[in-house]
Amino acid sequence: MPDTEIEIDPYELVGVASEATEAEIRKAYRQRSLKVHPDRNPNLPDAARKFHELTQAYELLLDPLRRMAVDAKIRLKEARKQRYAAYDNKRKTMVEELEQRERAFKKTRMEKEKEEMARWQENEKIMDEGRKLREEREKETLRKESEREKAETAAEEAETDAPPDLGDWDTTIKLKFLLSSRPDLSAPDVLAKLLSPFGPIDASSIVISKKPPKKAPHKPPKFATALVPFKQIGDAFAAVSASGREERGLKDVEIGWAEGKEPAILGWLKKQGKLGGVSLTRPQPTPTPVSSSPGVAASAQTATKPQLRPAANPSSSFSSFPETFPTTSTTSQQSAKAPSLPGLDFESLTLLRMRQAERERLEREIREQEENE
């Protein structure tokens, strides 16, 4: 019988002692079989298995050789139990110490895991607080940036409402015409007379440039360019608006701004709705105090609001422009103070030199442009 068969004690299964005789074994088998027989116990689900095990044990005990083998294994098992039970105190102590060490190691490991878990939770808590603090700081920064942007926007809006400063060249216009079409405009006094209906002109500062073609320098010049400074920007604006108009005597005459772009003050007036397309009379010059700096004329503009006046005679009207627009007195100051040059103060003398240098630079640029054309 294999070793696995001894796992179930046949004596215990049949219900007899190891010293029982065959008669006792047969009697016990008959009594037990009545309790587990499948035919007598149809409601018992494992009756067949139990009856089969009982029959196997009964046959084993009736076989002398097999019974002897089972008895030997049972005795060996009992001897092993007795041997294990006879361990000395030292070995038991060693086993107990080993078990105690294992328990202590497990406890230490669990405590270490708990400490690591607590440390991890603390780190997570600190990181979470740091994230919240960083988010609060970012929100505060965004709020401050938003407030700063609003303040800058309000400041920019306030700046846009204020008129820009008047430049030195904002009252100077540039004329360009063919000499073959308009040979009569070759002298400064003729140009001053032609443009005088638009307003006062600094005739002494008119500059006329005639340059022969670059590819044929021996030929006579075809075009002429002139710089004409007005005393008021409103008059200069009216002249530019009348560019090429035959009824104004400007046929074949192209008029633009000296710097090639519209002065910033005109853009500000358009944005403010104070410079429309309705025809108005040319503004009458208003007396302004002479100043050595163009910024003084611009400050006069902020002191009075531009007023528009309807045209009394449409035939003599130009473009719309504010009536009380500030005048620039750069050229008038220069011409007025030129006779008394030794009496000029240092600041006025410096401004005069700077304006003269700027005028010369502009003349050079005009000549270079004509050469390139």
> Is the Cβ–Cβ distance between 301 and 253 less than 8 Å?
no
Tokens encoding 229: 């400074």
- Tell me the mean pLDDT in the region 172-188: 83
pLDDT digits (tens, 9 = 90+) for 283-340: 444 444 433 334 333 333 433 333 333 333 333 334 445 544 544 444 444 343 333 3
pLDDT digits (tens, 9 = 90+) for 249-281: 888 888 999 888 888 887 777 776 666 543 333
**Assigned CATH topology for domain 3-85:** Helix Hairpins (1.10.287)
On the question of pLDDT at 129 being above 80, the answer is yes
The pTM of this model reads 0.38
Q: Which residue has the higher pLDDT, 164 or 189?
A: 189
Lowest mean pLDDT among 75-79, 160-164, 273-277: 273-277
On the question of pLDDT at 343 being above 50, the answer is no
Q: Which residue has the higher pLDDT, 5 or 248?
A: 248
